Amino acid sequence: MLPEPSTFQDDVMMSAWAIAAKHLTRGQKDVTRMIAEGIQQERKRCVELMQSALGSDAQIAVFVEDPRYDW
């Protein structure tokens, strides 16, 4: 069960609204694409955080960016 909307942080809600608005203003209605874009943005942010903390050669970041990467 999802938490009540009031339990989400403001930045999460703003990101969700921004992604939805971008898609809806283009006439797109596929919710799956909206969710996928949100996941991609979050992965990118996590990779950037890892690279910042561990250095640009942090090998683990590639697995966050692409979980299907060949181990």
Q: Which domain holds residue 50?
A: 12-18+29-71
Domain count, the chain: 1
Q: Quickly list DSSP for 27-52.
A: T---HHHHHHHHHHHHHHHHHHHHHH
Predicted confidence (pLDDT) per residue in 7-36, tens digit: 678 888 888 888 888 888 999 888 898 889
The pLDDT tens digits for 31-57 are 898 889 888 888 888 888 888 888 766
pTM of the model: 0.64
Closest to 11 (Cα-Cα) out of 38, 34, 36, 37: 38
- How far, in Å, CA of 27 to CA of 41, rounded? 21
Contact 23, 33 (CB under 8 A): yes
Within-domain flag for 68: yes
CA–CA distance, 29 with 21 (Å, rounded to integer)? 10
